[in-house]
Structure 1
Amino acid sequence: MYKLAVFGNPIEHSLSPTIHAMFAQQTGVNVKYTKELAPIDAFTQTANNFIQQGGLGFNITVPFKIDAFNFATQRTRNAQTAGAVNTIKVEGNTCIGENTDGVGLVNDLTKNLGIDLRDKVILILGSGGATRGILLPLLEQNPTRVMIANRTASKATTLANDFSEYGKTCGFGLEKIKSKPVDIIINATSASLDGKMLTIPNGVANGAICYDLMYGKITPFMTWAKVNNASMVIDGLGMLVEQAAAAFEFWTGKQPNTRSIIDTIRARS
């Protein structure tokens, strides 16, 4: 049996146990997956206790992804470039850190939504940890360029420079966004959490695919995108399920069929 968990604080809202129970039933893998509330200052102790009790892997959510990066004794390329870990696999004394967020986003866009990212102009709003986690997998799809816009322009510029070896990137302040359509806009800011919409030109959304990393509700960004003639408006539920599927495969070697699970969870919400 695979003893697995998700660590976070808060954690009660997490859909991960539900998703992984569906994966287990679908693939026939014997899994026990629990939610674990880790004290803010005791992630390492909580993780070690879980491993000592037979834990073979765990997911990590807010606010412990940096702690998990430091906890891992070995890291994948995705984790190393993201500077954060959301999945750990335990192999003996080795804890392998992975970041499945970007893979989850790309799989949702390409497999579930049928979007070819090659030769596309992608605008990402925000330059925090969420953006850092998705940049490498996006750039590996060979878009024309990925533009990063942020309130503090220097943060966007630095992040773009950090990833310039993987593809064409540029960074600038939100006020520099042109009123000219792009192919894809990804909202990776915390504005949706706060129920706010950034001040950006409406014309950039015309005909664009607009994707909010948030899920579970219609966000101000999604409403703005619809009003301004986006060709497609999507929330982050598919990314949530796809990043979980990548973690499940990382642990068990089994690849779940995600489409039906996304549909089931969406129907429940």
Structure 2
Amino acid sequence: MKRYAVFGHPVLHSLSPKIHRTFGQQSGIELDYVAIECAPGDFAAALSSFAKSGGQGANVTLPHKQRAAELCNLLSNRARRAGAVNTLIRHDNGWLGDNTDGVGLVRDLTGRQGLDLRGRRTLLLGAGGAARGVAPALLEAGVGDVFVVNRDSTKADALIDQLGEPGRMHARYFDDLGTLGEFDLILNATSATRHGTLPTLPMSLVGPRTAAVDLSYGEAAIPFLAWARAAHAHTTVDGLGMLVEQAAESFFLWHGVRPDTDPVYTELQARHAALITAD
């Protein structure tokens, strides 16, 4: 049986094993897909052990995406541009790294959510692996100027340098947020809400057509989306659809089969809604 995994810290809550098993059932492909918890300092060893045990592919989530890129001896064009990897493909001499986060996000926003991203003035909160994964695809989808805000300004500058779009992308501090005006698209790519905190965000960022998107899903997305609704954002979206779509792209890279994402998304969304109602 083919072996796959998702690496992260924390990761045991991940829906990826269920998603990929469902894709396998759809496609008639038998596979073993598990979640592997490992701290940042243990990731390289854990990945090596997985490869030696027959692992043929893996997904990578926080906080390992940039380290994963460093461990690959081959990178796809989109992984190289992002400087971060979320999908690993085993080959004879090591790992090929790719990044399906951006295409997954854009497919969800433009397809399932029906958003036209072209020309949208965009605020990207965060400059880590999650932000790096989606920024190139957003630019390719035609968004307007992108303002990157991160607590460590050097990371925001590094992201802009990585993408080579200095005229279109702009680094700012969190203290600048009150002076930036309204945005048509606001994306939360920080990990702060995973720890129960949300950076102070002025409501002046939100206008009548603003779409607010959290790249996380479940409880981690609640604080940001609650802020966006209180600010009267036109549209609020969590990262569940992105999760399913990026998984489908990974599945395609591994197996050459493109799964049907709609029934998987519908099932997971219904389960999430039921959990919120129960609480």
| Aligned residues of 2:83 and 2:162 also touching (Cα < 8 A) | no
Worse-matched range after superposition: 162-171 or 95-104 = 162-171
One-letter code of the match for 2:229? Answer: K
The answer to whether residue 215 in structure 2 is matched with residue 213 in structure 1 is yes
Distance in 1, Cα, partners of 2:185 & 2:71: 35
SS of equivalent residue, structure 1 residue 183:
strand
Report the CA distance between 1:179 and its aligned residue.
6.0
Between Structure 1 and Structure 2, how many residues are aligned? 269
Choose which of 248, 252, 256 in structure 1 pairs with 2:251.
Answer: 248
Q: 1:158 to 1:97 in 2, by over 3 A?
A: closer
Distance in 1, Cα, partners of 2:158 & 2:66: 19
Distance in 2, Cα, partners of 1:91 & 1:247: 15
Report the CA distance between 1:78 and its aligned residue.
1.9
Q: TM-score, normalised by structure 1?
A: 0.90
CA offsets 1:3-52 (integer angstroms, 9 cap, x no match): 21222343321211101011111222222212233465443333233323
Who is 1:146 aligned against? Answer: 146
One-letter code of the match for 1:195? Answer: G
Distance in 1, Cα, partners of 2:127 & 2:70: 21
Who is 2:44 aligned against? Answer: 44
The answer to whether residue 201 in structure 2 is matched with residue 192 in structure 1 is no
One-letter code of the match for 2:205? Answer: V
Report the CA distance between 1:200 and its aligned residue.
3.0
Report the CA distance between 1:63 and its aligned residue.
3.3
| Aligned residues of 2:82 and 2:163 also touching (Cα < 8 A) | no
What percentage of aligned pairs have identical amino acids? 40
| Aligned residues of 2:121 and 2:144 also touching (Cα < 8 A) | yes
Report the CA distance between 1:166 and its aligned residue.
8.5
CA offsets 1:219-245 (integer angstroms, 9 cap, x no match): 222111111110011111111111111
Q: 1:202 to 1:179 in 2, by over 3 A?
A: farther
In structure 2, runs of 5+ residues without a counterpart are 273-279
One-letter code of the match for 2:245? Answer: E
Report 1:1-269 matches (<5 A): 1-38=1-38, 40-165=40-165, 168-177=168-177, 178=179, 180-207=181-208, 208-217=210-219, 219-269=222-272
One-letter code of the match for 1:254? Answer: V
Distance in 1, Cα, partners of 2:39 & 2:215: 26
Report the CA distance between 1:153 and its aligned residue.
4.1
One-letter code of the match for 2:65? Answer: K
Distance in 2, Cα, partners of 1:141 & 1:47: 33
CA offsets 1:95-121 (integer angstroms, 9 cap, x no match): 211122222211211121111211111
Report the CA distance between 1:128 and its aligned residue.
2.4
Distance in 2, Cα, partners of 1:175 & 1:123: 14
Distance in 2, Cα, partners of 1:39 & 1:180: 39
| Aligned residues of 2:63 and 2:129 also touching (Cα < 8 A) | no
CA offsets 1:163-204 (integer angstroms, 9 cap, x no match): 244972111122323363221110112232233332233122
SS of equivalent residue, structure 2 residue 258:
coil
Worse-matched range after superposition: 207-216 or 89-98 = 89-98
Distance in 2, Cα, partners of 1:199 & 1:8: 27
Distance in 2, Cα, partners of 1:150 & 1:50: 33
In structure 1, runs of 5+ residues without a counterpart are none
Worse-matched range after superposition: 162-171 or 217-226 = 162-171
Distance in 1, Cα, partners of 2:154 & 2:245: 32
One-letter code of the match for 1:210? Answer: A
Q: 1:153 to 1:52 in 2, by over 3 A?
A: closer
Worse-matched range after superposition: 65-74 or 136-145 = 65-74
Report the CA distance between 1:90 and its aligned residue.
1.2
Q: 1:213 to 1:262 in 2, by over 3 A?
A: same
Q: 1:63 to 1:124 in 2, by over 3 A?
A: closer
